[in-house]
Amino acid sequence: MTRRRRIYEGKAKVLFEGPEPGTLVQYFKDDATAFNNQKKGIITGKGVLNNRISEYLMSRLSEIGVPTHFVRRLNMREQLVREVEIIPIELVVRNTAAGSLSKRFGIPEGTPLPRSIIEYYYKSDELNNPMVTEEHITAFGWAAPQDLDDMVALSLRVNDYLSGLFLGIGLRLVDFKLEFGRLWENEEMRIVLADEISPDNCRLWDIKTNEKLDKDRFRQDLGKVEEAYQEVARRLGILPEGGPVDVKGPKTVQ
Ligand code: UDP
C-alpha cells in the first residue's frame, strides 16, 4: 500500500497524483473561504455534494461537446481528472447583477444584465485576484489570443447550457466562475474546462423566491448553508442516498 503523493492543496480541494501518468485525483474538502481567505469555515458535507454536483455538470457538458478534465468520480470525495496546465485566469460569466459587479457599478443585486458579460481575473491570492483585460492576459503571456478565444467560446456555451439546465429545476444561474487548462495529447494542445462547477463558484437563486442557494449563504451569514448545497443536489436528482454520508479522508491506493 502506498500513500498518494499530494501535488497541491487549495482552499477547497486537494490534488493527488493519479493512478496513471497524466491523471490526478481531485479531493473535495468541506473547507470554505471567502473574501480572499479573510473568512474561513467548514460547511459539513460540502465536499461530498460538490464532488457529485461537479461530476454531474461536467458530464452533461461533455455530452454536448465541451471538453473537460473530468474522467470519473472515484468515491464520495474524490474524482479522477486529467492533468492539465492551469491557465492562471478566472473567467466570470454574469447574467444578473450581483456580488462585486453590483458593488463596483452601484447596480442593485438582481438587475438583469442587457447581455451576458464576461470578466477576467488574474489568479493570484497575493494580489487579491485583480480584474484584468485581454490586453494584460496576452501581453503578459498568461494565455495566447487563440486560447482566450477558445475560453470565451466555451464559456458562452457553458452559460447557455447551464442556464437552461438550472432553469429547468427552478434556479436562476446568476453568475459563475470557470477555470481552463491546457491538455497535451501527442504534440497537440486543447483548451479544456478544469477545476469544478458547484455552488462554491456559481450563484444560484430560486426562480420564484430569489432565495440564494450557493456560497453567498456562507459569505453573508445567511444560515442553512449545508441545506442550500443539498437542495441544489436534490433538484439535480443526485442527492446521495441517505444524505451526504462521509468518507474520512484521502484513501490509499494499491
Ligand atoms: N467566484 C469564485 N471564486 C472567486 C471569485 C468569484 O468562484 O475567487 C465566483 C462567485 O462565486 C460568483 C462569481 O464568481 O459566482 C462572481 O463573483 P464576484 O466577482 O461577484 O465576487 P464575490 O462577490 O464572490 O467576491
Residues 101 and 200 in one domain: yes
- In ligand 1, the atom with minimum distance to the C-alpha of 36 is 8
Residues 140 and 66 in one domain: no
Examine residue 212 and state whether it is found in any structural domain, yes or no. no
Residues 170 and 101 in one domain: yes
Query: Which amino acid is residue 172, in one-letter code?
Result: R
Q: What average pLDDT does the segment 114-143 reach? A: 97
**Structure pTM?**
0.94
Q: What average pLDDT does the segment 22-26 reach? A: 98
C-beta 216 within 6 A of ligand 1: no
Confidence of residue 249 (pLDDT cuts 50, 70, 90): very low
Q: Which three cell numbers stand for residue 189?
A: 494542445
Torsion angle of C-alpha atoms 41, 122, 213, 163, degrees rounded to 10: -160
In the chain, what percentage of residues exceed pLDDT 70?
94
Q: Find the domain containing 69 and state its range.
A: 3-83+225-253
- In ligand 1, the atom with minimum distance to the C-alpha of 200 is 11
Confidence of residue 243 (pLDDT cuts 50, 70, 90): low
Q: State phi, psi for 75 to the nearest 5 degrees.
A: -160, -165
> Quick check: 1 pLDDT over 70?
no
Q: How far is CA 180 from the centre of its chain?
A: 10
C-beta 15 within 6 A of ligand 1: no
Q: Cα of 201 to ligand 1 centre, how many Å?
A: 6
Q: How many domains does the chain have?
A: 2
Q: State phi, psi for 26 to the nearest 5 degrees.
A: -100, 115
Q: Cα of 212 to ligand 1 centre, how many Å?
A: 14
C-beta 52 within 6 A of ligand 1: no
Q: How far apart are the first and last CA of the chain?
A: 5
Residues 93 and 186 in one domain: yes
Smallest CA-to-CA distance from 82 within 8, 26, 23, 19 is with: 23
What is the CATH classification number for the domain harbouring 28? 3.30.200.20
In the chain, what percentage of residues exceed pLDDT 90?
91
Smallest CA-to-CA distance from 76 within 122, 17, 30 is with: 30
